Amino acid sequence: MRQWTDMNVLVTGGGSGIGLEVARTLLASGAEVTIAGRSGERLEGARRQLAGEGAEVVKLHTVAADVSDEPQCAEAVAAATGITGRLNAVVACAGEPRGQMAPVTQLDLDQWRSVFDNNVVATMLTLKHGSRELVRSGGGAFVAISSISAQLTARFAAPISAAKAAVEQLIRIAAHELGASNVTVNAIRPGLVEVARQDLPEQIKQDFLSIIPLNRLGRPHDIAGIAKFLIGPEAEWLTGQVVSVDGGQTLVRAFDASAWVEPVFGTDGMRGLT
């Protein structure tokens, strides 16, 4: 069984938000943790923050990398693996959380590609290079972050919805392929999680609260706890699954993005008339 003090984990998107909370949780469990992100300054800020909280930062390592770029992603995986000579788990948190909100008749191609690069391509490359090291290490766990947008049809949120749906299918296929190598591959499907730098209109927030049975937005630790479970010893016979962590929102409906879209495109634009 996997033992935390023997585990070496790479967390992409680890400088803030869910990724940082995953790193915090794993450090507290005794694992070696490498956080990767585009901004070296943000990563060092995360280190200082965790040190100030009393975390065992001697086991925290950082690597500045854009994991949607293949050479940089491969270097990040190699750097994490080099800490102990093996890689036991990868949590792929890097991604563009929302992207463009627009009617399908008004989608911007560059923004569409950006969402897919930062979510689908980044996850694929992290899986491609990370899973090789998991196999070489005798097995391990890969966890990707999806979104309830992959399941629910949120109007005007086509880019992130389509991208996260692609991530989930990638995870299922990888789980099928890598099972023979003792690698589990799963995804977490968060609802709306409150994180820093989130420009959330009050109308959108209230709409979410009105449809979440548990009547609160998510917090990063809600997701980090599930990530820990999925790479821990209790989940060694669980693979190819997508776990919704959303306060029950998927029992109801998708959120209403009209507050973002109508001021930009107007009512005619929302209906595809312009």
Contacts of 109 (CB under 8 A, 6+ apart): none
Q: What percent of the chain has pLDDT over 70?
A: 98
pLDDT at 263 over 80: yes
The structure's pTM equals 0.95
Q: What percent of the chain has pLDDT over 90?
A: 83
Instruction: Copy the structure tokens of residue 247.
Output: 């306060």
What is the reported pLDDT for 1?
62
Looking at 117-219, list the stretches that DSSP marks H as alpha helix, in order from N- to C-terminal side.
122-136, 158-178, 202-211
Find the largest Cα–Cα distance for the chain. Answer: 59
186 within 8 A of 143, measured Cβ to Cβ: yes
Rounded Cα distance between 14 and 19, Å, is 4
What is the reported pLDDT for 139?
97
What is the reported pLDDT for 148?
94
Residues in the chain: 274
Torsions phi, psi for 104 (to 5 deg): -65, -25
Instruction: Copy the structure tokens of residue 196.
Output: 């820093």
Cα–Cα distances in angstroms (integers) from residue 245 to residues 33, 215, 271, in the given order: 23, 13, 32
Q: Which domains does the chain have, with CATH numbers?
A: 4-200+217-247 (3.40.50.720)
User: For residue 127, with 0-12 CB atoms within 10 Å meaning exposed, 13-18 middle and 19 or more buried, which class applies?
Assistant: buried
Single out the residue of 192, 193, 218, 224 nearest to residue 24, CA to CA. 224
pLDDT band, very low/low/confident/very high, at 197 (cuts 50, 70, 90): low
Rounded Cα distance between 263 and 274, Å, is 14
Rounded Cα distance between 115 and 98, Å, is 8
Looking at 179-257, list the stretches that DSSP marks H as alpha helix, in order from N- to C-terminal side.
202-211, 220-231
| 103-156 tens-digit pLDDT | 999 999 999 999 999 999 999 999 999 999 999 999 999 999 999 999 999 899
What is the reported pLDDT for 198?
65
Rounded Cα distance between 235 and 149, Å, is 25
Rounded Cα distance between 10 and 81, Å, is 8
Q: Region 89-111: what's the mean pLDDT?
A: 91
